[in-house]
Structure 1
Amino acid sequence: MRLRELRAILGQYKDKIKYESKAIQHSSKTDVYGLQKTFNAINQVAKLGFLDADIKRLSRFESVYNFRSKNDSMRLEISEYREIDTTINIIKEKIEGYQKLLSISIPENEENVLSVRLPQYKEISDLKEFFDKLEKALHNGLKIEENTGDGQKYQLQNFDTGSLWVDILFNKESLLLFGQLIKLAINYQKASLTQRKMELEVEHLELDLELKKTYTDAIKQRLKLTLDAETKNLESSGNYSEESINSMRMSIQTLGNLMNEGTQFHTPLNAPDDVRQAMPEPPETKVIDTIQNLLESVTEQQGDE
């Protein structure tokens, strides 16, 4: 799990650790409200592995820890409640400590951040080629004169230590535009994988070379038409110049090729709604995985013969 995602998860569940008590007059008992919800939140955080000792202490109060009610209320002995309350406060302090530690490691400005997951490269030369392609996609997609947001359009913000992730900070206008390009690039990527599958199938057919070339040329033309169609979508979404459209066309093609290599683009868990809506997340690429599997299947069949 990435450090940025870990911090967001800790913040999300820490805010759900809320409960209150109301002492009963002339009694050794107190009514407690919200413990059930609190335990659920603690159990989610406990999956991260740093609350094992605290969970063990809470689970000693088995009837309380596993209690369930519609209104999330229970009546406890005051002494019992105090022990549980002390343990929960220790848990909250631990969560806050981890959050502060992570805040030191991660830049604060993340509203307009795009996280890029690199393919699983094994060669250093592959990394250089990747960043050259990514810079090309960013430059071509965002250099358009209509993108007039104040300040630098994008800049490298962070490398996630120990993983193949890089964070890029955009101005708001540029990030929304780049999200649109990524959406169009996904469609192009699907078409390019389908094209590759069809090319492999044509190679597998018993046809003369001239006819195979005719089929292959037709398949390539089909991919070009797909790219033309995606570029057409840009023309209808803004008053862009011809130069800008051609530039963004190259960006779409480059992004699609990067996705074919395994590149992924993610927004932070706590990104604003308009940013999250502008940026497609990996679940939308399940169809691509299916096509990729079919492509590999065709390749394996050819290899077996």
Structure 2
Amino acid sequence: MRIREIEQIVKENFNNLEVEITGYNSTNNKYYVSNFQKTIDSIKKLSQFDFIAEEVGILKSFDFIYYNSDEADKVYVDSNTYNAVLNARNDIIKKCYTVLSLVKEALPTEESEDSIDVKLPEYKDLNKISDFFDTLNKALEIIVVNKDINGKVQLQSFESGSLWLNIIVGAKAVKWIGIVMEKVMEVRHKYYETEKLKAGIKSLNNVNDAQELIIKALDVQVKEFVEVKTNEVLSDGTIANPSPEYTARMQYSIQALAELVYQGAEIHAALGSPREIKNEYPKYLEFDKTEIKSIKENSEVVDQKETEINDDEEK
């Protein structure tokens, strides 16, 4: 999980960690606690982080509190239970303070709503990283640096210890990129299906001319699909009267981004963006990534075998 995601979750739940005492019975030495479920719900959301595992373990031992879903949202507890719960809650608050302080040091710059978050694929080759940034920059500039969007592509920050970076693009550009990314994901799916078929063809022994023609035909299908999706996204009027030249450049951007996503990249609205902007962006499914990785690995094995066969024939 990203550092900024952790920060956001902590911030969202940090202010709900209050326990309200509405009475005390000195006869049986019990506290009357109400409106505690909001606190427990927030602690449960924070429990995905290991740094409060000890405190969550303590709270779970009081199951009549931690797992209480009574609509009354009230409970009597003895002083020992109350003090144990309160101490655990206080320790969670202290740890949340520490986490937020550490995040502030690691990520001193707040993300702008006029920005996007980009996740790099897990490249092992430095040349691929360089190619990624060149392609990303070119593709984004084509999409947003024009008179209709009036955007820019400016690196804001790298997230320490992760593969994420934040890029300033401009207010109108954030929404427009989300709309374009929906088409990008459709192309990525087409690209994925094509690569799957190509990998199957390559896995056959003695790839012949007919099979090579099929592979080329599949590539043509992808190109034609990109043209269709580009025309669809440009038909909404955001770009006024796009020229054939600009349409061709947009085709490049959509296909280039689709291939980057296929490799493992992700593009999102910044975490702090309004929900309606975030909803413009597509979701990224884990099972897709796993299956794509398998296809790429199998294809690489086949390519390696072909290289070895060709080398042997030359000898």
What's the TM-score once normalised by structure 1's chain length?
0.82
Find the aligned partners of 2:66 and 2:193 in 1 and give their Cα distance: 53
**Which residue of structure 1 aligns with residue 46 of structure 2?**
45
**Which residue of structure 2 aligns with residue 102 of structure 1?**
103
Find the aligned partners of 2:214 and 2:103 in 1 and give their Cα distance: 55
Task: Give 1:281 shift.
Answer: 2.1
Question: Which amino acid is the alignment partner of residue 13 of structure 1?
Answer: N
Find the aligned partners of 1:185 and 1:67 in 2 and give their Cα distance: 45
Q: Give SS of 1:51's match.
A: helix
Question: Which amino acid is the alignment partner of residue 12 of structure 1?
Answer: E
Question: Which amino acid is the alignment partner of residue 7 of structure 2?
Answer: R
Question: Which amino acid is the alignment partner of residue 120 of structure 2?
Answer: L
On the 8 A contact 2:199/2:298 being kept in 1, the answer is no
**Which residue of structure 1 aligns with residue 4 of structure 2?**
4
What's the TM-score once normalised by structure 2's chain length?
0.80
Q: 1:31 to 1:177 in 2, by over 3 A?
A: same
Q: Give SS of 2:43's match.
A: helix
Question: Which amino acid is the alignment partner of residue 20 of structure 1?
Answer: E
Find the aligned partners of 1:53 and 1:299 in 2 and give their Cα distance: 45
Are 2:126 and 1:124 aligned? yes
**Which residue of structure 2 aligns with residue 92 of structure 1?**
93
**Which residue of structure 2 aligns with residue 144 of structure 1?**
146
**Which residue of structure 1 aligns with residue 174 of structure 2?**
175
Task: Give 1:65 shift.
Answer: 4.8
Are 2:140 and 1:133 aligned? no
Q: Give SS of 2:279's match.
A: helix
Identity %: 23
Task: Give 1:163 shift.
Answer: 2.2
**How big is the alpha-carbon RMSD for the aligned residues of Structure 1 and Structure 2?**
3.3
Task: Give 1:233 shift.
Answer: 0.6
> CA-to-partner distance for each residue in 1:187-210, whole Å, 9 max, x for gaps?
22222233333344555488862x
Task: Give 1:37 shift.
Answer: 3.9
Question: Which amino acid is the alignment partner of residue 273 of structure 1?
Answer: R
Task: Give 1:212 shift.
Answer: 4.2
Contiguous gaps of at least 5 residues in structure 1: none
**Which residue of structure 1 aligns with residue 266 of structure 2?**
264
> CA-to-partner distance for each residue in 1:252-283, whole Å, 9 max, x for gaps?
11111212222122334443112211111213
**Which residue of structure 1 aligns with residue 313 of structure 2?**
none
Find the aligned partners of 1:61 and 1:200 in 2 and give their Cα distance: 55
Task: Give 1:26 shift.
Answer: 6.2
Q: Give SS of 1:229's match.
A: helix
* Matched ranges for 1:1-305 at <5 A: 1-24=1-24, 27=27, 28-55=29-56, 58=59, 64-65=65-66, 69-78=70-79, 80-82=81-83, 84-106=85-107, 107-148=109-150, 153-202=152-201, 204=204, 209=209, 211-212=210-211, 214-238=213-237, 239-242=240-243, 243-283=245-285, 286=287, 290=291, 293=294
Contiguous gaps of at least 5 residues in structure 2: 310-315
